[in-house]
Structure 1
Amino acid sequence: MEPRIHTAVHAKPKPPESELGFGQVFTDHMFAMEFDAGVGWHDARLQPYAPFALDPAAVVLHYGQATFEAVRAYRGADGRVRLFRPHAHAKRMIAGAPRLCMEVPSEQHVVSSMRALARLDADWIPASEGASLYLRPTVIASEAFLGVQPSEQYRYFVIATPMRGYFGGRGLDTVRIWIETGHVRAPRGGLGAAKTPGVYAASLEATRRAQARGYDQVLWLDSVEHQFVEELGTMNICFVIGRTLVTPPLSDSIFAGVTRDAVLTLAREFGLTVEERPFSLKELSVAHRGGVLTEVFGTGTAVSIAPVTELANDDHSLVIRQGTPGPIARALHAELSAIQRGVKEDRHGWMVDVD
């Protein structure tokens, strides 16, 4: 499906790369198309970035039928623009759609829409290390009615924002984490494995309380015993114990991070033993007290890799490496960045050229 192209008459002013943050400024264009039962996806177009009309009775507004993804486009050392693992992100959107009773575009259409937008707005993609263009493909239920049932109409759109440093930094951002022992983000059997707005809404109140204490994000625990680590607010989590990298196993309450998967692959190549298994607060405390917990870090699309310098709750505080990033997080971050920038060989086929 070849999109119609309507270019913006007036280009927006672009902020200096040194002033880029996250999600505040958007590019000149967006991609959009619609789905109707019996017709399928249609009217694919690249158009000027603008608000769009939505019926007040749209299903997404009342029953939350929505899903989204996040993909980054990098300008390589050779000047070419490439997306990081767009097919994996498209497959993840497709895999989560049945749980939400949603229609989503095919893998080919999701990837081609992101390539088309990144290509059209390529002059928005920063060239400096650590910066990129963040793309947000989204599907919402647009049919207008009241009544709890799946929509038969959907809108798919992609927007993009230049970014540098999700947490405001300019390189390897470090984070302080509050361990949430009361609230639950995603119960077993729930929507934790689907990238849907309601899961993030469930995290807002606990995250706000953590930030009021001076912490960046929340560490979520299992919904039954409140003893086993699951994931961070916007990241999967990894623990380094000696030469072993431990991370919780994927489940219906833990998101299947694309960056997580890449990091585990690189960790194995670095000679680390990778264990995907349950990891309890007790084991965390014992490993820290015994001096064998050498690093903790988060992984995610927006942050790439973020070393955790402190884990705390009302009872205690665990400071990691005296508040400094560890060598394994640094090495993994450097290797991943080099692949994304085209400085090192893309031996896993992760990068997709937008041209």
Structure 2
Amino acid sequence: MWKQSYEQLIFLQDSSVGLKAIIAIHSTKLGPALGGCRMRQYGSDEEAIDDALRLAKGMTYKSAMSGIPYGGGKAVILSHPGQGPREALFQALGRQLQKMQGGYITGMDLGTSVTDMDWIRLQTPYVTDTSGSLGAVNDLTATMTAYGVFLGILTALKRVFGSGSAERRTVAVQGLGKVGYQLCRYLYYAGAKLIVADVDPVRVQKVVSEFGAIPKHPDAIMSEPCDVLSPCALGGILNDRSISGLHCRIVAGAANNQLTESRHGALLHDRGILYAPDYVINSGGIIVTAAELNGGDAATAQQNVEKISGTLTDVFQTADARGLPTADAADLMAEGLLGI
């Protein structure tokens, strides 16, 4: 099925360093494919392939909705026992990117770091988020991703409650990595009450200490009563079971591919829960990357991130006009921009 809608699916294996990786290119219609490189342990090769494919497609739609001249791709490195040193893994990936001659440009993602990107840079220029780059300085990529999600939350609050203020609103944040932490910081200073969860207790304690957040077990936060549920960890967390247990008015978070299946957007809609489509509001990182690639600065990147609020408003208005769930309205708009 992927051959019908994806341009490339590359399986990369280098037994000399223990590398197993997948590169998925969804579309280069609007420009070279952009998308981070993530590294994690998967339950199977099939799970890794599905993750790469879904993430690459999301990056295509994200670029289109952000108005940047790039397509969508993704690389995933399968973490497994016995693999070689990280430097060897990422240099091997860099050699593959060099063969692609700019058709795919990668950067940081879940489980990867600036150091990893520096190792890729030893083999190819087709990488961002390296030491000293715009995205890496002061964690600008994570900060602007969080800022865009924060603006999306305010826009959704205005839609549901008539006021775009987070003051005294309860926001449950699932996942406290770099983006989740920065989102909590924005929300705290905006006066929100925070409920948080993460599999790492150190991250939880940091947010509790700094922002007065209320900690919850990771298994419990999805059903926690709140105004806004903000998924900021892995995708695929909105499904038949989890949606039936939600006690929120809004879902707006940084995680990619939050809907397990496209029909779950309609299920949220039917329950009266406003969904801020993930690739619309979590596009701050790719906006920073585009600015970096085109010689822009942090101020330019932030100005472009601030356009997310208007784009999300357009999605809400399109959903109303067409009688669609917001997830379907966003897809319709993105596909119109892509001419598909």
Q: TM-score, normalised by structure 1?
A: 0.28
Greater helix share, structure number: 2
Which has the larger Rg? 1
Q: TM-score, normalised by structure 2?
A: 0.29
More relative contact order in 1 or in 2 (CA 8 Å, sep 6+)?
1
